[in-house]
Amino acid sequence: MNAFEYAAPRTLDEALAVLGEHGDEARVIAGGTALVTMMRQRLVRPSYLVSLREIAGLDRIEAANGGLRLGALATHREVETSPRVRERLPVLAETFRRVASVRIRHMATVGGALAHADPNQDPPVTLIALGARVEIRGSSGRRELPLEEFFRDYYESALEPGEVVTGVVVPSLPAASGAAYVKFLPRTADDYATVAVAATVSLEPDGERCRTARIALGSVGVTPIRARAAEALLAGQRVGADLLRAAGESVRGAVDPLSDHRGSAAYKREMAAVMAGRALTQAWDAARASVRGTR
């Protein structure tokens, strides 16, 4: 690991000023689970590390416009165990619970993980299915993007030089909705998934037809992927096992996996179809249960 200088500003404006001064030589560090590993492997060699840890308020998990806002410095463990997240969006708490190990979850932060833009991560899949938006701050001001537009390529995000992620806003699910997250692991629970899928399903008032669906997949391309064609198959339809299976099968055309030690591209494509069908079925069942609970 190369020598570097370390700055721990106490305000976001101070952090942005340091980043602006040192440009490409500076990197933001939050939990450090990914960056420190890359530095040890000499994949990145920053001259300055700018820690966000001393900036008050960036770790808050709070209600926002009926949904939730996850501060960039909130750890995976804090999201997983948050009573507010568990009550309002249990699928999100469950997704964060399934990330790596407890040790990693105590360190890894929401914003750091998103900025890292690893396509094999768990949280972005569920966040995209839930319609989350990422908050970004730079010297020129604030901006917000749908999370699905934030990931541009393999380990590449929409962050411009000198910008940082400050939070993620997650809308609440509409009434008569359900959500699910499933993944297939090649070996142990702390490994990356071979395929991961999250789905949300919202029903019409009759409780039988699908109003909208959102399906997102991870580990099957250079970024997380949203399966819009599969979503369109479900919208407005009276849903049953055959249609859910067909929607899952249509996911094959949306994914573009790479062969690696977790499986061949062909195997991952088949698994994507299977896991999408499972996620949709679970989300559909949860939505139906929600309708029955209100009658």
Q: In the sheet that 48-51 helps form, which strands lie side by side, from edge to edge?
A: 5-7, 48-51, 26-29
Domains of the chain: residue spans and CATH:
5-51 (3.30.43.10), 61-170 (3.30.465.10), 177-293 (3.30.390.50)
Residue 259 clears pLDDT 80, i.e. is over it: yes
Three-class DSSP category at 206: coil
Instruction: Please report which confidence band the pLDDT of residue 188 belongs to, taking 50, 70 and 90 as the band edges.
Output: confident
Q: How far is CA 292 from the centre of its chain?
A: 30
Q: CA geometry: angle at 232 spanning 228 and 234, to 5°? A: 125
Contact (Cβ atoms closer than 8 angstroms) between residue 239 and residue 211: no
Distance from C-alpha of 53 to C-alpha of 177, rounded to nearest angstrom? 36
- Averaged pLDDT for residues 80-100: 98
Residues 237-254 pLDDT 10s? 999 999 999 999 999 999
Three-class DSSP category at 131: coil
The DSSP letter of residue 242 is H
Global confidence as pTM: 0.96
Contact (Cβ atoms closer than 8 angstroms) between residue 256 and residue 220: yes
* C-alpha closest to that of 287 among 239, 218, 227: 239
Residue 294 clears pLDDT 90, i.e. is over it: no
Residues 147-156 pLDDT 10s? 999 999 999 9
